[in-house]
Structure 1
């Protein structure tokens, strides 16, 4: 393990995480604070592999699901902690049209396109382009070139992701991209959280969740938004006040819960006009751990881990089951390129795509 510098309160260390079958080395950078909070980021998928935070008694534990080896990340389709691109979430019928030209993408979710396709950003090896420490915290920047036509998308895209851990335990994830042709971009992080901690994992059904959203986008049987913005009032989708996830996730009388096998829906943030909006607050009453997620995008996808079925081996040989983790993915709306009334995911040459999200860790008061 190599220490970059120990002069600042926050620290960054570079290490080898493992190798792929072809011998490609996968590196990791561990960001840490004086209080022991750590974030490990690996170059495969620019993935958040671990996030260690303290509980109410000060005991540190890992609050994100993941794998111990590069091979396991490539063998499973769960996107654990990965950077998602070029387009996070689903695109209906794996097609979209830009300026009169129809583009056909890889159909990897039935007839639909999901999370960038068969070889999205999550399955590629990123390059560490910068590691730094200063008075603001420790950070690592990873970069990637996605060639014109990759996955069916137009334009050569230069993408980067910067993870920065502040001394107060806030992890900022800064996504950026440029293109040489008009294209679409929607990048996010796909971490699965379980605030009970990996060593003493309990189902996330006991977590409390707050999402400041008065509307969500209902879906069809393929989990593609219908185009409607539906009020959350008097539905299982009302998280405007903290709600126990297990209270309604198995509500068999709600068609949308049935379609998603739980929650797998896009919530339209009431705070979306803010430069950095609160997207969600998640807490575990037993451990006392809490996270707040902020974003500069208009929505967040809440996914309750419905497709974790006990066949995905995670860290330490743990088999991840339904309810062992949940995702809160800030984004533009799913299928936005095919829904003119949805916020645009269009990116032009000369412009820079930016998505900044923050994961603020702490203990509930």
Structure 2
């Protein structure tokens, strides 16, 4: 992206119904609002085709929605993404229960930090990008079933290109500060929306993947090799139509720049949103059409970069990649790019 230099910065504190937020305002017209709870993006706006700001993510609109976490809109997923079967797992020979006392229908969704308080570490400017870094910790005994120590940082970067291209970047890092290995698999859960579309049905979706992940009726991947089914790369829905998706894809195919680019595009306006991820750092992209959302079902499309498949904490084929040694760091980098067509 050809860039314009940042000549001034804007990072301010605000609130949403009493929920503390940070607001980043780029001098060339983009804006992002991040809640203290979960380091969750509530809004990302950039100049649209007519120059006015347009909303590009479907975030929570109130503190009550944020607390309810319906759909995990734009959530940062640490130390696992998606679900853990029966809210329990065995790691290094020890069984851990993530939901002690829970009854039937046990499950553990999207990690531990979606309701945690993140504090601001720093704001910075580099070239054309305005960035905000937030931090939180996980301590032994803080959360049931996860007796490990992590330092977690979330950095959001806001950029605008000279041709009107806008970019929201995420850098998610987890460092094992304990004395034993910890299970860690990171993810992000952004919900994309394009201007002028009240539903995803009319949009086109391209996922550069060679396999889809097969699951049981609880959306837990099947065991071992049974979990993978080959597809023709790339997967294209043109348009999405009435297709219902809650589907993970893997065996991802990088483009000429070496990144995996999942594209949501409007054929009517030419506008697009592209989720970029590193193929060897994040092996899965999960796509969800939002049919079960309480507000705005199918109004946006979740495109989720994830390091490993769902229920990775219970999969022998993920054990080696899951373990994070003491002192080591794991990172997930992803960018969402808006192009006006």
CA, structure 1 residues 206+109, in 2 after alignment: closer, same or farther (shift >3 Å)? Answer: farther
Per the TM alignment, residue 156 of structure 1 is displaced from its structure 2 partner at its CA by: 1.5
Q: Is the 8 A contact 1:54 1:61 kept in 2?
A: yes
Q: SS of the residue aligned with 2:105?
A: coil
Per the TM alignment, residue 152 of structure 1 is displaced from its structure 2 partner at its CA by: 1.4
Per the TM alignment, residue 19 of structure 1 is displaced from its structure 2 partner at its CA by: 6.0
Equivalent of 1:290 in 267, 272, 281:
272
Uncovered stretches (5+) of structure 1, i.e. residues with no partner? 1-6, 250-261, 310-319
Match for residue 148 of structure 1? 140
Q: Runs of at least 4 residues of structure 1 off by over 3 A?
A: 54-59, 272-276
Q: SS of the residue aligned with 2:70?
A: coil
Per the TM alignment, residue 269 of structure 1 is displaced from its structure 2 partner at its CA by: 3.7
CA, structure 1 residues 109+271, in 2 after alignment: closer, same or farther (shift >3 Å)? Answer: farther
Match status 1:30 vs 2:28 = no
Equivalent of 2:79 in 77, 80, 86:
86
Q: SS of the residue aligned with 1:145?
A: strand
CA, structure 1 residues 99+76, in 2 after alignment: closer, same or farther (shift >3 Å)? Answer: closer
For residues 1-365 of structure 1, what are the structure 2 equivalents within 5 Å? 8-9=6-7, 11-18=9-16, 26-34=20-28, 36-106=29-99, 110-116=105-111, 120-149=112-141, 150-168=143-161, 169-179=166-176, 180=178, 181-196=180-195, 200-227=196-223, 228-233=227-232, 239-241=234-236, 243-246=238-241, 249=243, 262-271=244-253, 277-296=259-278, 297-309=282-294, 320-331=295-306, 332-342=308-318, 344-364=321-341
For each residue in 1:46-74, what CA deviation from the matched residue of structure 2 results, as whole angstroms up to 9, or x when unmatched? Answer: 01111113443434211211233323310
For each residue in 1:199-252, what CA deviation from the matched residue of structure 2 results, as whole angstroms up to 9, or x when unmatched? Answer: x5510111111000010111100000013210124xxxx7534531115x1xxx
For the aligned residue pairs, the C-alpha RMSD in angstroms reads 2.5
Give the TM-score normalised by structure 1. Answer: 0.80
CA, structure 1 residues 137+353, in 2 after alignment: closer, same or farther (shift >3 Å)? Answer: same
Q: SS of the residue aligned with 1:337?
A: helix
